[in-house]
């Protein structure tokens, strides 16, 4: 159960870190492009800025929790059934 909980906590953190790194790279490139534009406009003989990465095709895989969620639900069901049986047996004994 702890493994499932740890997995549920760690996977989003990893995705968030990857997204943060990509965001920083994109932000840096945008700043570079923004800094170069005034010079390119002023000096028409200067070469245009080099092409930057095409970020339209980048993706971040989001974690899938199907297996870990199903395992957690299964464990909860087992625990609940045990608790219900114990409670039911206790009530039946008190009624006798």
Q: 10 Å Cβ neighbour count for 56? A: 5
Residues 14 and 49 in one domain: yes
Can you give the pLDDT at residue 53? 76
Task: Identify the DSSP state of 62.
Answer: P
- Tell me how many domains the chain contains: 2
Residues 7 and 38 in one domain: yes
Residues 2 and 46 in one domain: yes
Residues 9 and 20 in one domain: yes
Residues 4 and 51 in one domain: yes
Across the range 11-38, mean pLDDT stands at 81
Q: Is the pLDDT of residue 44 over 70?
A: no
Question: For 31-38, which contacts have Cβ atoms below 8 Å and span 24 or more sequence positions?
Answer: none
Can you give the pLDDT at residue 52? 76
Helices (H), 43-54: none
Q: Is the pLDDT of residue 41 over 70?
A: no
**Can you give the residue range of the structural domain that contains 36?**
1-62
Residues 45 and 4 in one domain: yes
Q: How confident is the model at residue 42 (pLDDT cuts 50, 70, 90)?
A: low
Report d(CA 5, CA 69) in Å as an integer.
9
Report d(CA 55, CA 62) in Å as an integer.
17
């Amino acid at each position: 159960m702890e493994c499932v909980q740890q997995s549920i906590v760690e996977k989003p953190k990893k995705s968030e870190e990857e997204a943060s790194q990509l965001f920083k790279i994109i932000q840096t490139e945008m700043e570079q492009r923004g800094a170069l534009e005034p010079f390119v406009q002023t000096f028409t003989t200067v070469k245009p800025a080099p092409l930057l990465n095409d970020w339209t095709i980048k993706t971040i895989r989001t974690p899938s929790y199907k297996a870990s969620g199903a395992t957690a639900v299964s464990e909860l069901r087992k625990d609940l059934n045990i608790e219900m049986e114990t409670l039911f047996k206790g009530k039946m004994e008190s009624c006798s």
